[in-house]
Structure 1
Amino acid sequence: MLKTKRSDTRNDVRREALRLFSENGYAAVSMRDIAEAVGIRQGGIYNHFASKQDLLADLMTGHMETLIEALNEALSDVANPVARLQAFVRFHVGYHIDKPDDVFIAYMELRSLEPDHRERLHTLRDRYEGVLRDILTEGAVHGLFRIPDVAVQTRAIIAMMTGVTVWYREGGRLGRRDTMESYVQMTMQSVGLIEPAGGERQCSIKP
């Protein structure tokens, strides 16, 4: 029972820290603020995290590790590079719509990480980007995608998709699925599978 209580407290600390960092910024939030939000003494946080920096690193690396694990599961039964690219886009956009605070912290607070933690995060990001880079490379090699530079295309697609967290609002004009499919179409167009309006090449790929 004690183990469950400790686990719950740790999760409560992570949840409240994520919320406060997202709302106010890492630098403006103290351990006392987090403790008060959780409803424990400040010293109680140190039973779970050695410092505010370790807490931030835990949130950011935890986000990336969960992201990678979920991505691998989403792509596990998809073999064709076109289908894998579509699945990657749907996964990335959907996940980022569902986890806006995690995404905000992962990008905006990278500057706040100390070098060792930042290096670990960069390693995880490279692993995640590597999945998309491999998909694009395979598609280009087989003549399915028209890509002048795979590395640039990889970063451009990820940046475009991650931007969904800036404008998407639940209950807005586009729902979650429509938003995901819009990003699929834009991504397919960016690799030459769909021409802009009036273009000669049309898409025969269905979601």
Structure 2
Amino acid sequence: MARTAGSHSDITGPRVRAAALRLFARDGYAAVSMRQIAREVGVQAGALYNYTPDKQSLLADLMIGHLTQLLETFRDDSSSSPAARLEHFVRFHIGFHHERPDAVFIAYMELRNLTAENFARVESLRRVYEDRLEAILRDGVATGAFDIEDTKLATLAVIAMLTGVTTWFREGGRLSLDDVETRYWSMVRRAVGA
């Protein structure tokens, strides 16, 4: 099948992923067809298969790409105090996800549409990230800096609370992003008994 005039492989692949991300976040994975993605990118539907084997692979690649970037970007300085490490985690998580609301929405709302194999791949990456936060919380408990009964439960609660910012925060609102990070850090600090 001929390539649409003006399309180039080095830019079309990223455009396919960007269009799929927007459409999946806006309409839901199940409601989006490969034809819609192709139309959004400006290529023929058959050309998409040069960039992805199928829609399921595209969804998994978007989620895995988001989580891989998250893991590569987050840095924990284990020589710092547990409180400083936790504050860094809080601010990092909010800031990183604020810049990627569509990826966050898909990463949480479209898990149900993954095959068992793809779900396992995504879940293992999520667990690595959760484990990084739980290590901070365990260190805080061990040093007496935090008072937490169940570090796994606290990990999941903190991540859910921080991720929720992407659903309501808007630039130009009552609070700046820095204000939100500061207030959430205060809430998290109290939640872990610091």
TM-score for both structures, normalised by structure 2: 0.94
Query: Where does residue 154 of structure 2 map in the other structure?
Result: 153
1:9 pairs with 2:12: yes
- For 2:170 and 2:42, the matched residues in 1 are separated by 30
Query: Where does residue 69 of structure 2 map in the other structure?
Result: 66
Query: CA contact under 8 A between 2:16 and 2:48: conserved in structure 1?
Result: yes
Q: How does 1:22-37 map to 2 (within 5 A)?
A: 22-37=25-40
Q: CA deviation at 1:78?
A: 5.9
Q: CA deviation at 1:183?
A: 0.8
Q: Which has the higher contact order (CA 8 A, sep 6+)?
A: 2
Q: CA deviation at 1:91?
A: 0.3
Gaps of 5+ in 2: 1-6
Describe the SS at the equivalent of 1:63: helix
- 2:56 counterpart (7, 30, 53): 53
- For 1:78 and 1:167, the matched residues in 2 are separated by 34
Query: CA contact under 8 A between 2:77 and 2:85: conserved in structure 1?
Result: no
Residue by residue over 1:62-101, the C-alpha shift from the partner in whole angstroms, topping out at 9 and shown as x without a partner, is: 00000111113xx358622111100000000111111110
Query: CA contact under 8 A between 2:78 and 2:85: conserved in structure 1?
Result: no
1:166 pairs with 2:167: yes
Alignment: residue pair count = 188
Query: Where does residue 23 of structure 2 map in the other structure?
Result: 20
Q: CA deviation at 1:5?
A: 3.3
Cα RMSD (Å) of the superposition?
1.3
Query: Where does residue 3 of structure 2 map in the other structure?
Result: none
Any runs of at least 4 consecutive aligned residues in structure 1 with deviations exceeding 3 A, and if so which? Answer: none
Q: How does 1:124-139 map to 2 (within 5 A)?
A: 124-139=125-140
TM-score for both structures, normalised by structure 1: 0.88
Query: Where does residue 4 of structure 2 map in the other structure?
Result: none
Query: Where does residue 113 of structure 2 map in the other structure?
Result: 112
Give me the identity figure in percent.
Answer: 49
Gaps of 5+ in 1: 194-207
- For 1:147 and 1:27, the matched residues in 2 are separated by 40
